[in-house]
């Protein structure tokens, strides 16, 4: 039986729509320590995060410590801007590299994003800093079908010397009625306004419980799609991903490529990830790497602020949806028949009052959802003054399985 998490957005008229503050635990920084086996010392790097009063990340920068001198040296810095409408949509980022000789940040690249009235990304423009000015390098345009699901994505690269767009790529997406991705197809365009040529296709297959069970990667070869890689997923009794098996086309037949194993705690937090690779010499799957995760059960995800997806905090297989505050990550490599230290990551937090919440939003504290998570019967009690609500159910893996509008007094 699949365990589900519930999201509820309530609409209505509330008195006294004043701003409010909520106390959050914000992730201020993370520290990576990599084991240097030759010198037998830990090499350290660190990411530092900053947020505005509403909890949006405004910038982050990274540093590393020189093993020989102990000097802390800058690496890169990102700055972010957002729409003023409170949607949280990012409109721009600027990336800098640290110039150690000049002891200053040097512009490197930036982007601009635009959105439609529904808050969906429609255009992305990427720029490089060259000759003391921003030169456009990339442009992407996004289209959506009636449900708001991405239907087409076209990217182009600008070559300043030739004064033309090249390396044009198009992705076309297909979805089922549940909003699950069925196919993602890539087309390449050799010359501007030339024909689009099939290149690559990703196919998703689901079981009767709407769990993703198979992904097929295929190339377009002599007028037909030829699958070169297949991944198969299996789940535990709680509906959480337990195993991922990968197969790769080798000399006309599929052979094993890798195996991933996942373990969780009672709250659904990923606690262990083990990766196996295919040893072609021994013709067997062998241990390669292992991740161990730790959490603070005293804080749920609603209690904390985390950096954005591109802020390097979750690049070691942290799941998209977790239940509690991440505290640490340990990564090990399998060497000499034992697990050897490779990396340790610690996450650091501090309290922050987040502002900008209206009185109506605080009414959500009076919403009763029970039980949550749920695996069979869900009961919903809306607060006084609400006129309707949008109910969304997610698997604990983060995949949406239901979205429905509720009117006041309705039951589900």
Encode pLDDT of 183-208 as tens digits. Answer: 999 999 877 778 899 999 999 999 99
The token duo for 278 is 């295919």
pLDDT of 363: 45
Distance between CA 259 and CA 246 in Å, rounded? 6
Q: How far is CA 308 from CA 63, 321, 393, in A?
A: 18, 14, 23
Distance between CA 331 and CA 34 in Å, rounded? 9
Between 184 and 69, name the one with better pLDDT. Answer: 184
Residue 23 burial (C-beta neighbours within 10 Å; 0-12, 13-18, 19+): exposed
Write down the residue that tokens 């050799």 correspond to.
190
> Please, which contacts does 237-243 make with residues 24 or more away whose CB atoms are closer than 8 Å?
237/1, 238/2, 238/3, 238/264, 238/268, 238/396, 239/1, 239/2, 239/3, 239/4, 239/209, 239/211, 239/395, 239/396, 239/397, 240/3, 240/264, 240/268, 240/396, 240/397, 241/397
User: Which of the four pLDDT bands, split at 50, 70 and 90, describes residue 373?
Assistant: very low
Distance between CA 356 and CA 16 in Å, rounded? 14
pLDDT, one tens digit per residue, over 343-366 is 999 999 999 888 754 444 444 444
User: Which of the four pLDDT bands, split at 50, 70 and 90, describes residue 15?
Assistant: very low
Entry pTM: 0.79
The token duo for 8 is 């509820």
User: Would you call 35 helix, strand, or coil by DSSP?
Assistant: strand
Between 91 and 395, name the one with better pLDDT. Answer: 91
Domains in the chain: boundaries: 4-407
pLDDT of 398: 42
Distance between CA 305 and CA 53 in Å, rounded? 12
Q: Residue range 2-31: average pLDDT?
A: 63
Distance between CA 389 and CA 405 in Å, rounded? 6
Q: Which residues contact 315 (CB under 8 A, 6 or more apart)?
A: none
pLDDT, one tens digit per residue, over 117-174 is 888 999 999 999 999 999 999 999 999 998 889 999 999 988 877 888 877 899 999 9
Q: How far is CA 108 from the centre of its chain?
A: 24
Range with lowest mean pLDDT among 45-59, 61-75, 297-311: 297-311
pLDDT of 356: 59
Contact 35, 44 (CB under 8 A): no
pLDDT of 365: 41
pLDDT of 167: 74
Distance between CA 298 and CA 300 in Å, rounded? 7
Between 261 and 412, name the one with better pLDDT. Answer: 261
The token duo for 198 is 């099939």
Query: 188: which strand partners?
Result: 169, 197
Range with lowest mean pLDDT among 1-10, 224-233, 297-306, 352-361: 1-10
pLDDT of 401: 55
pLDDT of 366: 44
Among left, alpha and beta (phi > 0; psi -120 to 50; other), residue 30 is beta
Query: Above 80 in pLDDT, residue 393?
Result: no
The token duo for 165 is 């767009």
Distance between CA 177 and CA 400 in Å, rounded? 12
User: Which of the four pLDDT bands, split at 50, 70 and 90, describes residue 384?
Assistant: low
Distance between CA 358 and CA 340 in Å, rounded? 50
Query: Above 50 in pLDDT, residue 10?
Result: no
The token duo for 135 is 């030169």
Q: Which residues contact 148 (CB under 8 A, 6 or more apart)?
A: 118, 120
Contact 201, 194 (CB under 8 A): no
DSSP 311: S
Query: Above 60 in pLDDT, residue 47?
Result: yes
Closest CA to 306 of 120, 28, 5: 28
Q: Residue range 64-83: average pLDDT?
A: 91
Distance between CA 258 and CA 396 in Å, rounded? 24
H or E segment at 34?
strand 19-36
User: Which of the four pLDDT bands, split at 50, 70 and 90, describes residue 378?
Assistant: low
Distance between CA 304 and CA 227 in Å, rounded? 42
């Amino acid at each position: 039986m699949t365990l589900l998490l519930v999201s509820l957005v309530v609409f209505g008229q509330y008195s006294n729509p004043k701003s409010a503050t909520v106390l959050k635990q914000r992730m201020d920084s993370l520290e990576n320590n990599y084991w240097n086996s030759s010198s037998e010392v830990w090499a350290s790097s660190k990411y530092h995060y900053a947020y505005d009063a509403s909890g949006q990340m405004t910038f982050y920068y990274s540093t590393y410590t020189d093993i020989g001198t102990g000097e802390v040296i800058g690496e890169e810095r990102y700055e972010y801007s957002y729409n003023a409408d409170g949607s949280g949509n990012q409109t721009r980022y600027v990336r800098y590299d640290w110039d150690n000789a000049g002891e200053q940040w040097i512009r490197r690249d930036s982007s601009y994003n635009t959105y439609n009235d529904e808050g969906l990304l429609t255009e992305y423009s990427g720029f490089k800093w060259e000759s003391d000015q921003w030169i456009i390098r990339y442009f992407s345009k996004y289209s959506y079908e009636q449900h708001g699901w991405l239907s087409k994505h076209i990217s182009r690269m600008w070559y300043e010397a030739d004064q033309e767009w090249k390396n044009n790529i198009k992705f076309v997406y297909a979805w089922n009625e549940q909003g699950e991705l069925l196919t993602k197809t890539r087309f390449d365009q050799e010359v501007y306004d030339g024909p689009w040529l099939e290149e690559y296709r990703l196919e998703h297959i689901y079981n009767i419980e709407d769990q993703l069970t198979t992904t097929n990667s295929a190339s377009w070869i002599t007028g037909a799609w030829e699958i070169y890689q297949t991944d198969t997923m299996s789940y535990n009794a709680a509906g959480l991903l337990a195993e991922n098996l990968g197969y790769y086309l080798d000399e006309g037949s599929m052979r094993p490529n890798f195996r991933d194993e996942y373990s969780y705690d009672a709250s659904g937090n990923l606690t262990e990830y083990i990766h196996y690779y295919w040893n072609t010499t021994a013709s067997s799957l062998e241990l390669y790497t292992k991740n161990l995760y730790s959490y603070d059960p005293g804080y749920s995800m609603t209690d904390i602020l985390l950096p954005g997806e591109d802020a390097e905090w979750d690049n070691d297989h942290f799941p998209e949806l977790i239940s509690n505050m991440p505290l640490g990550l340990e990564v090990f490599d399998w060497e000499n028949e034992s697990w050897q230290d490779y990396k340790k990551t610690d996450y650091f937090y501090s309290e922050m009052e987040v502002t900008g919440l209206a009185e109506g939003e605080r009414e959500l504290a009076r919403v009763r959802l029970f039980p949550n998570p749920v695996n069979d019967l869900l009961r919903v009690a809306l607060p006084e003054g609400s006129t309707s609500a949008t109910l969304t159910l997610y698997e604990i893996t983060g995949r949406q399985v239901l979205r429905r509008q509720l009117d006041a007094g309705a039951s589900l």
